Amino acid sequence: MQKQISVRRYIGSVVWLLISTTASAQLSPGELFKGHSHLEGNFNCTQCHTIGEKVSNEKCLNCHTEIKKRVDQHKGYHATPEVSSKSCFQCHSDHHGKNFQIIRFSEKDFNHGKTGYVLTGKHTALDCKACHKSAFIEDPVLKKKKFTYLGLSTACAACHRDVHQGTLSDQCAQCHQTESFKPANLFEHQKTRFPLLGKHRTVDCKSCHTNRQVADVNKVIFEIKLFQQCNHCHDNPHVKSVHTCQECHTEESFNKFAGQKKFNHQRTDFVLKGKHKSIACVSCHQLQKSPNALFQDYAGRQNLACNDCHKDVHEGKFGLDCRQCHSEEGFTLNQNLERFDHRLTSFPLEGKHIGLDCKKCHKTNLKDPLPYQTCTSCHQDQHERVFKRPGVESDCRDCHTIDGFNSSSYGLEDHVFSKFPLEGAHLATPCASCHIKQHQWVFRNLGSQCIDCHVDPHIGLLSEKYYPEKKCQHCHLMDAWQSIQFDHGQTRFPLTGKHSAQACGECHVKKDNLVGKHHILFVNLPLECNGCHKDIHGGQFNENQGITHCENCHTSDDWNPTRFDHDKTKFKLEGKHLQIACIACHKTFIDPENKVRNYQLNKHQCNDCHQ
């Protein structure tokens, strides 16, 4: 029984082995190329294949990461639309044997431009392997591969030796072409920091770019660090006497002088200003001298004065410092006249003259003599010679000062000697109040009487008897118009008592209520008391023509009836009556509203008053 079981197991094993071998031959289409040989075996199929589908690009790129990286970056041949639209299997099919060339294309017909690097010039004739070799690959992973087209840099120095040894830019294409390394046809000296001008254009390169042994290479030095100044390459024949060569010379020729407009004279001890800027150099410097002596005409001379070069037309009269009057803008067109010391002349400037523009007086040439003995030599006589008197030398300075014509030095003490000495209020009156007539100053024929200047307010209102020839001073004082010295005793109404203390206006000023004006009256004024005063007795003492003679009882000193004599009435006072107050008997009023007391009593019997 055991023998039967063992035989059966053996037979089963053999059958399974035969079935497995047959199945394997049926699943694999062929042997993988040697680069994929590690993927042989039925259990590795899904490393590249997706069950039920074709070969997956995604799985190819999961292994070929260096390709995937460039595709993701949209770089290289596999990123072009022509290639990226295909499956990997279309170009790189497998299962054709271990020695099958999975990467195959025509090197002759291959468009290298699709890789991102177009072959030009000498590069087009090179064999692919001349460039695609591990020696030129930088990536350490790719460098280990036996062969690959990846990993090369497009920089020239990645394949070619830098003959400039790092002294120039690593962008070789800026100067060289792929047709030939020499000459560097693309190099433009004008784009460097030292564009070639003038004579520099014809100079041989080696005159400036010399050979130098660096390590084992004899190289040309193209990088020159010091070139900004001419004397970095050329000897300075002027030693230290001048500054930069370009200020006087050009690249066209060293012997050609161009310093007239370019040389910076401001750095010398004599800064050019005004007209000096436009003067030719040869006017001051001799160009025929040797280079070391050139432009050294004034070396060592300090504080150059104008007359060191220019003639003093004033012959020393105004000193040696011409700049006090003149500027370098021009000898005649003077911009510094405010600095001129006029005290050096015969007419020192004072007052208003100090601020005047020179041309106000010096209308022609500044050196032309001017008359200055009198003010009218320059100024117009605004008074039109009214102050000119025969045999008397007069001038504006008699009344005015040089500080201004608007003010006058003619004072009160001077007016005393005129035909009209000032007194009283006239002393405080502004000159213009009397001397300006119709907007003109007038100093002659002004008159000396009050009415020559003042309006007579008394015309027709005051008899000329009281102010003969209309001379106001008969009544008024010059101290003030309101001050009156009139003798009222000359009139028919001499002032006595309280009247003498009253202001004139109390009696002589009447208001016209119709027109709202006041009138001063001196004629046809009443002489009776009730002409001015109210009759407080209500007419009880009227006599002829209704006139009350107040003076019969009162005086002008006050209203007390000091002159009244009761004995002259119908009731003579005697005894106790002499001591009784007036109102004790005169109790009644004839006009109660105005309290006009009754003094005309017709009852004189005792029982008329006493019970």
pLDDT per residue over 36-60, tens digit each?
999 998 888 888 888 888 888 899 9
Residues 3 and 47 grouped into a single domain: no
Mean pLDDT lowest for which of 39-53, 205-219, 520-534?
205-219
CA 309/CA 304 separation, integer angstroms: 9
CA 381/CA 436 separation, integer angstroms: 16
User: CB of 247 within 8 A of CB of 260?
Assistant: no
Domain boundary, last residue among 85, 104, 123 = 104
CA 538/CA 229 separation, integer angstroms: 129
CA 310/CA 320 separation, integer angstroms: 11
CA 165/CA 169 separation, integer angstroms: 10
Residue 593 has pLDDT above 80, yes or no: yes
Mean pLDDT lowest for which of 16-25, 97-106, 426-435?
16-25
Residues 6 and 56 grouped into a single domain: no
Residues 50 and 97 grouped into a single domain: yes
Answer whether residue 232 is part of any domain: no
Percent of residues, the chain, with pLDDT higher than 70: 92
pLDDT of the residue at 321: 81
CA 456/CA 459 separation, integer angstroms: 6
Residue 16 has pLDDT above 60, yes or no: no
Please state, in angstroms and as integers, the Cα–Cα distance from residue 21 to each residue in 38, 41, 92, 97, 382, following that order: 20, 12, 28, 19, 146
Render pLDDT for 486-505 as a digit per residue (tens, 0 to 9). Answer: 889 989 999 999 999 998 88
Residues 96 and 59 grouped into a single domain: yes
Q: How confident is the model at residue 69 (pLDDT cuts 50, 70, 90)?
A: very high
Q: What are residue 441's DSSP bridge partners?
A: 436
Residues 2 and 56 grouped into a single domain: no
221 backbone dihedrals φ, ψ, rounded to 5°? -85, 105
Kind and range of the H or E element at 480?
strand 480-484
Residues 97 and 50 grouped into a single domain: yes
Render pLDDT for 237-260 as a digit per residue (tens, 0 to 9). Answer: 776 555 678 888 888 888 788 877
With CA atoms as reference, report the closest residue to 174 among 159, 192, 153.
192
Residues 51 and 100 grouped into a single domain: yes
Residues 37 and 52 grouped into a single domain: yes
Q: What are residue 401's DSSP bridge partners?
A: 404
Answer whether residue 42 is part of any domain: yes
CA 396/CA 399 separation, integer angstroms: 6
For 93, the domain range is 31-104
Residues 38 and 18 grouped into a single domain: no
Answer whether residue 555 is part of any domain: no
Report for 314-323, 328-337, 486-495, 507-516: range of highest mean pLDDT: 486-495
Answer whether residue 4 is part of any domain: yes
Answer whether residue 67 is part of any domain: yes
Answer whether residue 47 is part of any domain: yes
User: CB of 114 within 8 A of CB of 82?
Assistant: yes
pTM, to two decimals: 0.41
Domain boundary, last residue among 104, 126, 143 = 104
User: CB of 596 within 8 A of CB of 536?
Assistant: yes
pLDDT of the residue at 241: 57
Answer whether residue 63 is part of any domain: yes
pLDDT of the residue at 438: 87
Residues 16 and 38 grouped into a single domain: no
CB atoms within 10 A of CB 510: 13
Joined together, the tokens standing for residue 14 give 């053999």
CA 590/CA 309 separation, integer angstroms: 121
Q: How confident is the model at residue 110 (pLDDT cuts 50, 70, 90)?
A: very high
Nearest 5°: the CA angle 230, 233, 236 is: 60
pLDDT of the residue at 374: 87
Domain boundary, last residue among 104, 120, 139 = 104
Residue 25 has pLDDT above 60, yes or no: no
Number of domains in the chain: 2
Answer whether residue 561 is part of any domain: no
